[in-house]
Structure 1
Amino acid sequence: MTKKRLLSYRQLKAELKWVSTDSDDYSRLKAEISEIEAYVSGIDDAFIRIIFRLRYLVPRKDGGWQPPSWAWIARQANASEDYCKGRHCKFCKKNTL
């Protein structure tokens, strides 16, 4: 899994709303979405899993595709911004994302 692929999650969800349910694109989008969700759900460390869900999976209120700010993620995770960002970066380096 790559960061770029994780970042595409919100866009894929938006595209899914516009595609006909009986098309090949619908099946492809559902498969990609499921794969990303399974990857995040499979992260062993609970805190890292929370960070990844907040950063990549939780829908934005404004409907945007960009990830939320680290400050928002830190408030939701009840931790400091630097701690959340550091744990995310360390996980990404270790797992070559």
Structure 2
Amino acid sequence: MPDWLREVDGAIILTIHVQPGAKRSEVAGEYGDALKIRLAAPAVDGRANAALLAFIAQRLGLARSAVELKSGLTSRRKSLRVTGARPDAWHCLLGQ
């Protein structure tokens, strides 16, 4: 299991490094102990956070309500709690 993913109380916790304002939304690989995600949305009025949650939910095939921002509201480094995903779901995030 990668460093940026852990399992806690039946949910998975993802550590994400976000790059807002990119040309397109995509997974850019690992960034230290985090998963780097480029987002097309700007970091204005919470748009990047909303786009991140929707992007993760779509990649994992889950409802948007299954992904919750736990920390990092105004930071590039974020912690997300995902319920209803399998622990091996990280393959979907990396496109494998």
TM-score by length of 2: 0.31
Give the strand-richer structure, 1 or 2: 2
Give the helix-richer structure, 1 or 2: 1
TM-score by length of 1: 0.31
Flag the structure with larger Rg: 1
